[in-house]
Chains A and B, each alone.
Chain A
Amino acid sequence: MAMAALRREGRRFAPLVSSPNPINAIRSTLAPAEEQMGLGVRSISTQVVRNRMKSVRNIQKITKAMKMVAASKLRAIQVRAENSRGLWQPFTALLGDTPSVNVKKNVIVTISSDKGLCGGINSTSVKISRALHKINSGPDTECKYVILGEKGKAQLIRDSKKDIELIMTELQKNFLNYTQVSVLADDILKNVEFDALRIVFNKFQSVVSFLPTTATVLSPEIVERESEAGGKIGDLDSYEIEGGETKSEVLQNLAEFQFSCVMFNAVLENACSEQGARMSAMDSSSRNAGDMLDRLTLTYNRTRQASITTELIEIISGASALEG
Chain B
Amino acid sequence: MTLNLCVLTPNRIVWDSEVKEIILSTNSGQIGVLPNHAPIATAVDIGILRIRLNDQWLTMALMGSFARIGNNEITVLVNDAEKSSDIDPQEAQQTLEIAEAALRKAEGKRQTIEANLALRRARTRVEAINAIS
Contacts and interface: CB of A to CB of B under 8 A. Distances in A.
Interface of A: 80, 83-84, 86-87, 90-91, 94, 177-178, 182, 236, 238-244, 250, 253-254, 257, 261, 264
Binding site secondary structure of chain B: strand
Interface in B19-46: 26-28, 31, 38-45
Interface of B: 6, 8-13, 26-28, 31, 38-45, 65-66, 68, 70, 75, 77, 79
Given A94-B68, A242-B28, A243-B43, A87 B79 contact: no
B44 A243 contact: yes
B65 A244 contact: no
Contacts, number: 72
A236 B39 CA distance: 10
B44 to A, nearest CB: 7
Contact of A87 (B28, B43, B68, B77): B77
B41 A94 contact: yes
A315 B71 CA distance: 97
A4 to B, nearest CB: 78
Given A243-B26, A243-B43, A261-B10, 7 more contacts: A86-B8, A178-B11, A239-B41, A239-B68, A240-B39, A257-B65, A261-B77
Nearest to B75: A90
Residue among B38, B65, B77 with max Cβ neighbours from chain A (10 Å): B77
Given A90-B77, A244-B27, A84 B41 contact: no
A91 to B, nearest CB: 8
B40 A254 contact: no
Given A83-B12, A243-B44, A244-B27, A90 B39 contact: no
